[in-house]
């Protein structure tokens, strides 16, 4: 088996392929350090493992559960058990909640999964604390006994719509042999999100403000990974959810919240089905739920909750994936990504959707009755054709009816407007005094609609992806006139208050991947000189 993944030491769930067919049999280490496949595709395991003994995990701690799940995807020959346990323990020791991701009861059979108890107050800490420690583990091993230019220096490049950036910085700041470059759309993230990133004073962290949208930032990152010059001079690593380890780490909280629900609700038992509702932009968070479902977790439906940038919702309605028609309130088409109150979801092209489309294409190919090699090859060709059409024409589809119907067995979707987001924040504060951030409000709005469809007896877990303090403008707009509400006293953590007065480090760069490449190359040279001295 190629690329450092000997067959006898790896299961089919511990070796990886590209969604576009150009790579197979890759090791987990290769996938983590490369991030994006050479053919432009995303990495996936050859198959999703069946968690046959998942019921036995019901009383495990979060870290213990993470070890069981991650072990199905990572060969002991790559990361021995004790090392993996140590990486996991370090990753979740930084969280403010002992449960890591506590489940909160909202009303009746609706529960909220709080994923914002990590260092950056965002769900992305659940994956990026782990990824930061993975990078460190692999680099320490690669560089053992090496000096100077012989050392492997990783250049991590990521795009952020707000939360990935700060979570990546908190996961990687100060780590040896790593330079971190985070691209954010200038003026399109919240003041707190910007402060969390740009006040970091660690020498290996570099913030680049790009004149454009998140999609522009993401396109620049993908262009860098596809550029031979950048790959020759820089050892590029990815922190966006294109890096499969991000998806892998997020599977854990679907299982953990399911077991928490069984403990908290007298009407829910292990074995019962639950609906998960996930506010999503880049499709990584809800894709982790799909993996959990395919592994055996009893998930009735995964509900995609989008804002007015609704490419995912439109796909589930029509079978066509088209980036040019986010709609305004009057139903007219907007050609660009619309700025909304939930900026982390202001995305036209959801990168991780490609991973789901590969699985759906493979399932469709399997109906022919050929072997798995044929199915994978067909899936790679189909995905390549779809994404070539997306790049050249702005969309693809409608996909075959069987592909769409197969996807609809697992997924439903909802689109939530800004006005509805504000109303939901108001409604739940008035009835429960709980303060939702705008992304979580999108999820709760979608949950209420899902409950109306499925019935009040159906248990729902709605994912809360960020702390409300990160979105002071929206929360204050929604609740500013509520009697007794005080944002600073009720919502704002002390460490956020301190951030706003600290010195900033940020570089403004034109919306050009070539210019970003030159900035990155120049800065990495300086970082290497500083390390060697």
pLDDT tens-digit series, residues 373-408: 999 999 999 999 999 999 999 999 999 999 999 999
Last residue of a domain, one of 472, 495, 519: 472
90/129 Cα distance (integer angstroms): 8
Helix (H, G, I), strand (E, B) or coil at 162: coil
Domain count, the chain: 2
8/13 Cα distance (integer angstroms): 13
Task: Say yes or no to pLDDT of 91 above 80.
Answer: yes
324/151 Cα distance (integer angstroms): 45
* Residue 204 shares a structural domain with residue 345: no
* Residue 312 shares a structural domain with residue 387: yes
The answer to whether 391 touches 384, Cβ cutoff 8 Å, is no
List 125's β-bridge partners, or say none: none
The answer to whether 85 touches 67, Cβ cutoff 8 Å, is yes
pLDDT band at 157 (very low <50, low <70, confident <90, very high): very high
Please indicate, yes or no, if residue 203 is contained in any of the structural domains.
Answer: yes
List 304's β-bridge partners, or say none: 278, 413
pLDDT band at 524 (very low <50, low <70, confident <90, very high): very high
Please indicate, yes or no, if residue 257 is contained in any of the structural domains.
Answer: yes
Q: Which residues neighbour 116 within 8 Å (Cβ) at sequence distance 6 or greater? A: 122, 123, 125, 437, 464, 465, 466, 467
pLDDT of residue 8: 82
| pLDDT per position as a tens digit, 325-354 | 645 455 544 457 899 999 999 998 999 999
pLDDT of residue 3: 55
| pLDDT per position as a tens digit, 399-437 | 999 999 999 999 999 999 999 999 999 999 999 999 999
pLDDT band at 38 (very low <50, low <70, confident <90, very high): confident
SS3 content of the chain, % helix, strand, coil (to 5): 50, 15, 35
List the catalytic residue out of 8, 34, 124, 142.
Answer: 124
Burial of 521 (0-12, 13-18, 19+ CB in 10 A): middle
Angle, nearest 10°, between helix axes 401-408 and 353-366?
120
* Residue 518 shares a structural domain with residue 374: no
* Residue 172 shares a structural domain with residue 314: no
Q: Which residues neighbour 519 within 8 Å (Cβ) at sequence distance 6 or greater? A: 208, 507, 509
400/383 Cα distance (integer angstroms): 13
| pLDDT per position as a tens digit, 204-233 | 999 999 999 999 999 999 999 999 889 878
| CATH number, domain with residue 302 | 3.40.50.1100
Six token digits for residue 246: 């991000």
Please indicate, yes or no, if residue 50 is contained in any of the structural domains.
Answer: no
Secondary element (H or E) of residue 28:
helix 28-34
Secondary element (H or E) of residue 158:
strand 154-159
Six token digits for residue 287: 């894709």
* Residue 328 shares a structural domain with residue 444: yes
| pLDDT per position as a tens digit, 102-137 | 999 999 999 999 999 999 999 999 999 999 999 999
Task: Say yes or no to pLDDT of 322 above 90.
Answer: yes
* Residue 229 shares a structural domain with residue 371: no
Task: Say yes or no to pLDDT of 1 above 50.
Answer: no
* Residue 262 shares a structural domain with residue 382: yes
The answer to whether 302 touches 375, Cβ cutoff 8 Å, is no
The answer to whether 14 touches 73, Cβ cutoff 8 Å, is yes
Q: What percent of the chain has pLDDT over 90?
A: 88
* Residue 256 shares a structural domain with residue 376: yes
Last residue of a domain, one of 450, 472, 494: 472
Mean pLDDT, range 175-187, rounded to an integer: 96
pLDDT band at 500 (very low <50, low <70, confident <90, very high): confident
Cα Rg, the chain, nearest whole Å: 22
Q: Is-catalytic flag, 124?
A: yes
Six token digits for residue 106: 């909202």
Annotate 470-523 with three-state secondary structure. HHHHHHHHHHCCCCCCCHHHHCCCHHHHHHCCCCCCCEEECCCHHHHHHHHHHH
The answer to whether 350 touches 307, Cβ cutoff 8 Å, is no
> Nearest Cα to 122, choosing from 159, 162, 152?
162
Backbone angles phi, psi at 93, to 5 degrees: -75, -15
pLDDT of residue 332: 46
Mean pLDDT, range 162-188, rounded to an integer: 95
> Nearest Cα to 85, choosing from 99, 101, 100, 71?
71
24/41 Cα distance (integer angstroms): 12
pLDDT of residue 6: 46
Please indicate, yes or no, if residue 86 is contained in any of the structural domains.
Answer: no
314/417 Cα distance (integer angstroms): 14
Please indicate, yes or no, if residue 450 is contained in any of the structural domains.
Answer: yes
DSSP secondary-structure letter at 270?
Answer: B
pLDDT of residue 149: 84
Secondary element (H or E) of residue 236:
strand 235-238
322/335 Cα distance (integer angstroms): 11
pLDDT band at 7 (very low <50, low <70, confident <90, very high): low
Last residue of a domain, one of 427, 451, 472: 472
Mean pLDDT, range 490-507, rounded to an integer: 93
């Amino acid at each position: 088996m190629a690329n450092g993944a000997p067959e006898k030491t790896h299961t089919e769930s511990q070796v990886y392929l590209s969604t576009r067919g150009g790579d197979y049999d890759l090791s987990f280490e290769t996938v983590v350090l490369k991030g994006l496949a050479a053919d432009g595709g995303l990495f996936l395991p050859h198959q999703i493992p069946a968690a046959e003994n998942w019921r036995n995990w019901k009383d495990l701690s979060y870290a213990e559960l993470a070890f069981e799940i991650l072990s199905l995807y990572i060969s002991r020959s790559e990361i021995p058990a004790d090392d993996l346990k140590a990486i996991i323990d370090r990753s979740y020791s930084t969280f403010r909640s002992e449960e890591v991701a506590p489940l909160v009861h909202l009303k009746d059979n609706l529960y909220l999964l709080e994923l914002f108890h990590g260092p950056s107050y965002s769900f992305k800490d659940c994956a990026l604390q782990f990824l930061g420690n993975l990078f460190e583990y692999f680099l320490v091993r690669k560089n053992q006994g090496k000096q100077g230019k012989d050392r492997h220096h990783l250049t991590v490049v990521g795009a952020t719509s707000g939360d990935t950036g700060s979570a990546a910085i908190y996961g990687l700041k100060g780590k040896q042999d790593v330079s971190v470059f985070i691209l954010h759309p200038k003026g399109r993230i919240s003041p707190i999100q910007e402060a969390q990133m740009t006040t970091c004073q660690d020498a290996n962290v570099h913030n680049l403000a790009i004149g454009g949208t998140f999609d522009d930032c993401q396109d620049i990152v993908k262009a860098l990974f596809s550029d031979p010059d950048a790959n020759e001079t820089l050892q590029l690593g990815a922190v966006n959810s294109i890096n499969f380890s991000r998806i892998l780490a997020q599977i854990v909280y679907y299982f953990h919240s399911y077991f928490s629900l069984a403990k908290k609700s007298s009407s829910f038992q292990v074995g019962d089905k639950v609906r998960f509702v996930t506010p999503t932009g880049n499709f990584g968070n809800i894709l982790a739920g799909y993996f959990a479902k395919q592994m055996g977790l009893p998930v009735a439906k995964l509900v995609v909750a989008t804002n007015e940038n609704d490419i995912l919702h439109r796909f589930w309605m029509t079978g066509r994936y088209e980036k040019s028609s986010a709609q305004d309130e009057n139903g007219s088409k907007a050609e660009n990504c619309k700025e909304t109150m939930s900026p982390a979801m202001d995305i036209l092209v959801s990168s991780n959707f490609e991973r789901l489309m590969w699985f759906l294409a493979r399932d469709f190919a399997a109906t022919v009755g050929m072997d798995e090699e044929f199915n994978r090859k067909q899936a790679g060709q189909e995905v390549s054709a779809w994404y070539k059409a997306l790049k050249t024409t702005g969309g693809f589809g409608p996909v075959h009816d069987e592909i769409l119907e197969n996807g609809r067995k697992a997924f439903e979707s909802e689109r939530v407007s800004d006005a509805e987001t504000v109303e939901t924040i108001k409604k739940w504060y008035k009835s429960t005094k709980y303060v939702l951030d705008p992304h979580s409000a999108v999820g709760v709005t979608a949950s209420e609609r899902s409950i109306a469809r499925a019935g009040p007896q159906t248990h729902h877990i709605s994912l809360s992806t960020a702390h409300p303090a990160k979105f002071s403008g929206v929360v204050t707009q929604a609740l500013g006139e509520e009697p007794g509400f005080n944002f600073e006293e009720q919502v704002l953590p002390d460490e956020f208050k301190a951030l706003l007065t600290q010195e900033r480090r940020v570089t403004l760069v034109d919306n050009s991947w070539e210019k970003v490449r030159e900035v990155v190359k120049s800065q990495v040279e300086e970082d290497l000189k500083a390390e060697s001295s």
